[in-house]
Structure 1
Amino acid sequence: MSTAPPVAKRSGTLLPLIAVVLVLFAVASLWPLLAAATEQAQLPVQIAASLAPFVVFFGTVALAGRAEGIRFAAAVGFSTRHVGRQLLTALALLAVTLAVTLALAALGFRMFGEGQSGLLPFLYAAVRSFLLVGFGEELIWRGYVLGALHRNLRSGAPAVLLSSALFGLWHYPGGQDVLQVLVTMLFGVLWSTARMKIRHCSTFATGTAHGLHDLALLVIATLAA
């Protein structure tokens, strides 16, 4: 069974894709300002501020998928069929991304974020890193954006390259330096290629790989703090 991005039921699907990408970049640009404005606020306010962008992201993708006549699960490329194979694929992808990250860190490049002090902040950061940042980004970028580009361009390679370039650039307003952006693009190519070329590889597989990658970096940064 192929897990290639679904074909839209109607033509002219470029407008929803453009709208999604514009919203993604607009929110990414405002995100640091929101975080700074709520830095001294009470914990519930900080949590709400950190979750709000994802509500906007998924709401926008849901509306875009509806405009294209595609169910949400199909629009974000999610499937739990052949879960065993997908988990094996996820572990293989995780091995690659962690190897690259650790190699660059060993060479002295800044590859880790900030660790967390305290059990509750760490647990919240761990859940957020895995489910929202890792898994959520895959549903959006390797799910909707990659799929919509593939539907419009009718070709896999340009869709992989363009979606991965946008994915990397999207992280720049959040504080990643040039090297980190390039590595993020590289990982985007890896995850996108897996989606397009590996049988039964849905965003369940790439989301698991991405989520575990982010979780591993959080653990390393916390232990090193």
Structure 2
Amino acid sequence: MSPTVPVGSRTGRLLPLIGVLLVLFAVAALWPLLAAATEQAQPPVQIAASLAPFVVSFGSVALAGRAEGIRFAAAVGFSTRHTGLQLLTALALLAVTLAVTLALAALGFHMFGEGQTGLLPFLYAALRSFLLVGFGEEFIWRGYVLGALRRNLRSGATGVLLSSALFGLWHYPGGQDVLQVLVTMFFGVLWSAARMKIRHCSTFATGTAHGLHDVALLVIATLTA
């Protein structure tokens, strides 16, 4: 029989994760307010406002990893080993997410965001979508949150389902409707399962897939605007 872990010890190990989740949902709630407050501001102010939530979110993850004694790359599940295999995994994941999105769009559901007019705004939006949204969300959700849940719950399936549910709900304050939230949850399950079940799949693979997916939707939205 394994020894019983004191409740206080379990709670102490959960504190960094709880702190990160509180920060993430606070950011999600305040993000639309910040965007509205800076809508008429000068471009540098708007850019700073669009970057600030990521800085706060990454900072919370870095502090949580440090509190747990985990180096940042390990905390966010990032590795560039077996790059070729990871890129192939990313392309396979991208094919699934794009197929689901395009199928729902063909049925008449709103699945694309806003396009961009002008070369510089488009390039900034594409870079932000690929690096900060794609890789950033994977570092946070498929990296730290999934990893912390697995460490604390000792259940991979529970970690996948819970982190993916939270990932979907986290998008709701940003303007996603119920269907989009459910699709986001499904993508979260897909990317999380890939991390757990596919050999050598790190957040490098899921971040590439996620980033390319978001850029593809940006291109479609821009072309059809």
List per-residue Cα deviations over 1:151-183 (Å, max 9, x = no partner): 000110000000000000000000000000000
Matched-pair contact (CA < 8 Å) for 1:133–1:211: yes
CA distance in structure 1 between the aligned counterparts of 2:134 and 2:87, rounded to whole angstroms: 15
Q: Which amino acid aligns with 1:142?
A: R
Q: Number of matched residues? A: 216
Aligned counterparts, 1:2-13, within 5 A: 12-13=12-13
2:39 aligned partner = 39
Write the distance in 2 (CA, Å) between the matches of 1:43 and 1:61.
28
Residues 178-189 of structure 1: matches in 2 within 5 Å?
178-189=178-189
The Cα shift of 1:184 comes to: 0.1
Partner of 2:4: none
Q: Hey, what does 1:26 align to over in structure 2? A: 26
Secondary structure (helix, strand or coil) at the match of 1:13 reads helix
Q: Specify the SS of the correspondent of 1:160.
A: helix
Is the 8 Å Cα contact of residues 13 and 148 (structure 1) preserved in structure 2?
no
Paired residue for 2:79?
79
Higher deviation after alignment, 10-19 or 141-150: 10-19
AA at the equivalent of 1:204: F
Shift of 1:13: 1.9
Q: Is the aligned partner of 1:192 residue 2:196?
A: no
Structure 2: gaps of 5 or more residues: 1-8
Matching residue of 1:129? 129
The SS at the match of 2:109 is: coil
In the superposition, the TM-score normalised over structure 2's length comes to 0.95
Quote the RMSD (CA, aligned, Å): 0.9
Q: Counterpart of 2:159?
A: 159
User: Is the partner of 1:113 in helix, strand or coil?
Assistant: coil
Which residue of the partner structure matches residue 106 of structure 1?
106
The one-letter code of the counterpart of 1:70 is I
The equivalent of 2:96 in structure 1 is 96
Instruction: Tell me the TM-score normalised to structure 1 length.
Output: 0.95
Rg larger in structure: 2
Distance in 2, Cα, partners of 1:102 & 1:13: 41
Following TM superposition, by how much is the alpha carbon of 1:205 offset from its aligned partner in structure 2, in angstroms? 0.2
For 2:57, give the aligned amino acid: F
3-state DSSP of counterpart to 1:165: helix
Match of 2:218 in 1: 218
The residue identity in structure 2 corresponding to 1:105 is A
1:4 corresponds in structure 2 to none
State the alpha-carbon separation in 2 of the partners of residues 193 and 96 from structure 1. 13
Residue 102 of structure 1 deviates from its aligned partner by 0.1
Q: Distance in 2 between matches of 1:62 and 1:115?
A: 32
Unaligned 5+ segments in structure 1 are 1-9
Aligned position for 1:142 = 142
CA drift at 1:62: 0.3
The answer as to whether partners of 1:141 and 1:167 remain within 8 angstroms in 2 is: yes
Maintained 8 Å contact 1:97/1:187: yes
